[in-house]
Structure 1
Amino acid sequence: MERSMENFKSNSRYPDWSMLPKKILEHLWKLLTIPDQAIASSVCKKWHSSTSNKANIWAPDIPWLITDIEDTSPHYSLFSISLQKIYKMEKPFLPLDNTFIVGSCKGWLVIRSEVEIFILNLFSKVRIDLPLRASQQHLLNSTPTVFTMSMCADLNPIIVAGVTFDGGLVWCNISDKEWKVYIGDEEYGNLAFYNDKLYAINHDGDKIDVFRIEDDELIPKGSMYATFPTTSPISDNFDIYLVESKGSLLVVKRHFEISSILGQTINFEIFKVQERIDDVSPHQLVKMESLEDQVLFVSGLYCESLPAKHCSMLQEDHIYFIGHHAKDDKCELGIFSVNEGSMHRVPLTDSTLNYPYWLCPRYAFACNCKYHDSTVLKRISDYETNV
């Protein structure tokens, strides 16, 4: 430590900032938000190493909005709500024709082109390739439209599961060469990992199937049949989400005026899943009148819950969502108060923000857990080195 400080002071007029001791750098990172850390990491290799390889850096931040200007653009557009400013971030891969963001989950982007599918942690520049083929068909022709991921303790993906365009259920381990397809009659609309199990809800929202992945097989563990405890239907047009929030599994219904494509969002309903405690008691959906100290972020078919204390400037017990502005066919940022049932809309007038996704700014780190073998770790390491 003392020698490092001596090296740093050796040229007092023009100090070598790359010689700052590692412990001081790590202390500085704890004072910065993750986007600021990403900017600082570009100063030199040592600063980049301090952010890329140090796990458990405390840096909560408000999710950003991310969108593609065009598929072949070398940059992403990211909008900071807290700073009310749009930034450009270079894509750490060669953009090809028809390469688009198709999802965002727990800080990872899901990106698909005609020749590849991969997940990307934009801030760590970590990429993990996913299969393009399914085990029971030549190509994965029915594209997954909703994704969820199970994570290890270091927040690296273990299993990726998805709902296809036609309501099918697929999944794979991150080292698999093919997607596995679940054969069943149900058409699903959303899914989430919760308590080491996979929960998938059908399009109508009245049935939740529960699975456990054992010995590389998706094993059904039962179903929940429940009637939504609402006194009168708000709208027959809705999207439905499953999301873990503060240790509970929630069902979120987003109601539209006309349809999810053409209509504005008019209301939200939130229900807590209460699993039966024995073989006799029924499953229940209990309507929630408050999110308490949580905040929900909704974009497209994705929903994520974060503690309000990690989202300075945002209000607890609120839902922040991307919606459709019916008058001028543009996107809008909506803010819904769960307790009051009121809604506030903010038009996104910038043309570069075309139906963006929420992106939680989180780092990914190489780990040595039992789920990530040397092949996966090598892929992460090589990618970070070459970018």
Structure 2
Amino acid sequence: MMKKEARSSFWPDVQPELLGLVLLRLPSLADRVRLRAVCRPWRSNARLQPLPSPLPWLTLLNGTFLSIPDGKIIRMPAPDDAFCFGSIDSWLFFVHSDGGCSLVNPFSKATLDLPKLSIKWFEAIPRFGSLLQKMVVPLPLESSPGSLVAALILENGGTICMYRPPMATYLPTRRNQRSFDYVSDITFFKGKFYGLGIHDVLMTFELNFGADSKPRISCVKCITKYPTVSVILPKPLYSTYMTKKYLVECCGSLLMVKRHIEFTDTTCEHPLDCDRTAAFEVFEADLSTKPGQWRCLTTLGGQVLFVGKHHSKSFPAGESTGFQEDCIYFMCDYRNDAVDPLHDSGVYNMRTGIITPLLLETAAVPKHHGGQWRPTWLFPADAM
């Protein structure tokens, strides 16, 4: 009897230090949850362990989530009659069929309601789905939800919607100067609102609030020159190159990531099957001079980047995260029609220029069933 009791009490008595070593080797949120569910002592001791953020997920078009790089499919409840069109770290941006918008944290179940999108573009889901491009906020949502100011850029690159509940303001960004004709990406960086214009010009948008408390863009300034091209791509025989651009904050710096995609329109029987990402360029904004300069980078300083039209983020690399340094993770985000986000996806190594598959070789590639959601990166909160 005493031997049986000793054997049954061994696992709960595992020292917290050993439990911490195990947790550090479990970058998947699902695996961490399973470990904590073993017994109460493990759950309480696990709370004492400082851990890096768990592996990110990729939202699939049918409303499920794909864990990277193990390929596990996760299903979580989502608002009824709503579709995901972007994310902000561990929050999902939902648009409802009546034009209402909300930010939902699927882990804490917290919800922030946003004003309805009242312009006619948003009257029907099939029509406006392809127009919504990116939602950004200046601060973590958990820190000051009452003073939320969010920006939503539309696919046409000429309109930005500013939110400050219970109000929304639609702001055309076009000006007389050519640089303002199109905004390909936006972000908040160190409390300021930035946009990327044509010819890779970085712009700042100065915000103020009128007597009606509506957020407004009062001034737009170009603050960088054109960057120097660092990658020379071979000229394809039957196709051309399309370039996607992303703004990403990384270790206190603002980066521009240029993704070069070999793009085939008519020469292939199935054009979509012929598209492929060929290379990346990464530039850092040096704002210490006037005008600022784009400086070409060959390393990410121990970080990895996850880039996408609807959300981009830097992430620390290392053994505890399961990611290699100086790599860029990407998915297929450049088609307005519903496509498989894993079609043109992968991991680009900045040191070698080699692209490897996004999922592990042992992971089962999920079948593509289509849907209304848009592919975006979701970074799970490591809830205890």
TM-score over 0.5 (shorter chain): yes
For each residue in 1:297-332, what CA deviation from the matched residue of structure 2 results, as whole angstroms up to 9, or x when unmatched? 123443211111486221010011113899x97625
The answer as to 2:377 corresponding to 1:358 is yes
Q: Please name the residue that 2:222 is paired with.
A: 223
Q: Secondary structure at the match of 2:167?
A: coil
- Correspondence for 2:207: 213
Q: Distance in 1 between matches of 2:144 and 2:296?
A: 33
Aligned to 1:4: none
Residue type of the alignment partner of 2:380:
P
Determine the C-alpha separation between the residues in 1 that align with 2:207 and 2:32. Answer: 36
RMSD: 4.4
Gaps of 5+ in 1: 1-13, 16-22, 366-387
Aligned in 2, Cα 1:231/1:66: closer, same or farther, shift over 3 Å?
closer
Cα shift readout 1:228-276 (whole Å, capped 9, x = no counterpart):
2015664641111111001000011111101699421111111011114
Q: Does residue 73 of structure 2 align to residue 95 of structure 1?
A: no
Structure ranking higher on relative contact order (CA contacts 8 Å, 6+ apart): 2
Q: Which residue of the partner structure matches residue 281 of structure 2? A: 269
SS of aligned partner of 1:228: coil
Q: After TM superposition, give the deviation of residue 150 of structure 1 in Å.
A: 1.9
Q: Partner letter of residue 90 of structure 1? A: M
Is 1:295 the counterpart of 2:295? The answer is no
Q: Provide the rounded CA distance (Å) in 1 between the counterparts of 2:141 and 2:94.
A: 24
Q: Which amino acid aligns with 1:171?
A: M
Give the match for residue 129 of structure 1.
113
Name the structure 1 match of 2:365.
349
Give the aligned residue type for 1:340.
T
Secondary structure, counterpart of 1:151 in structure 2 = coil
Counterparts of 1:183 and 1:109, CA distance in 2: 25
Q: Tell me the secondary structure at the aligned position of residue 229 of structure 1.
A: coil
Deviation at 1:48, TM superposition (A): 11
Note the alpha carbon deviations across 1:115-172, whole angstroms, 9 max, x for none.
Answer: 23211212112221222235xx467566431121222495566322111122111221
Paired residue type of 1:101 = C
**Shift in CA distance, 183/153, structure 1 to aligned 2, threshold 3 Å:** closer
Please list every run of 5 or more consecutive structure 2 residues that lacks an aligned counterpart in the other structure.
1-7, 10-15, 175-179, 210-214, 234-239, 266-270
Q: Please give the secondary structure, in 2, of the residue aligned with 1:179.
A: strand
Greater fraction strand: 1
Cα distance in 1 for partners of 2:319, 2:55 equals 7
TM-score scaled by length of structure 1: 0.69
CA contact 2:303–2:325 (8 Å) conserved in 1: yes
**Which of 78, 87, 92 is equivalent to 1:104?**
87
Aligned equivalent of 1:159: 149
Q: From 242, 245, 249, give the equivalent of 1:240.
A: 245
Deviation per CA, 1:176-196, whole angstroms, max 9, x where unpaired?
123212233132111111010
Q: Quote how far apart the aligned CAs of 1:94 are.
A: 4.2
- 1:180 equivalent in structure 2: 169
Q: Give the Cα–Cα distance (whole angstroms) in 2 for the partners of residues 126 and 213 of structure 1.
A: 28
Q: How many residues align?
A: 329
Q: Taking structure 1 as reference, are residues 188 and 324 closer, same or farther at Cα in structure 2, changes over 3 Å only?
A: closer
Query: Aligned-pair distance for 1:86?
Result: 2.1
Q: C-alpha displacement at 1:59, in angstroms?
A: 4.6
Provide closer, same or farther for how the CA distance between residues 364 and 37 of structure 1 changes in structure 2, counting only shifts above 3 A: closer
**What is the alpha-carbon distance in structure 1 between the residues aligned to residue 200 and residue 347 of structure 2?**
27
Contact map agreement 2:76 2:106 (CA 8 A) in 1: no
Residue of structure 1 in register with 2:295 after alignment: 286
Distance 2:334 2:156 in 1: 27
Task: Give deviations 1:68-121, integer Å, cap 9, x for gaps.
Answer: 42x6xxxx333342xx24233331x4422xx32211222211122322321121
Q: Distance in 2 between matches of 1:363 and 1:114?
A: 31
Tell me if 1:200 matches 2:199. Answer: no
- The alignment-based identity, stated in percent, is 24
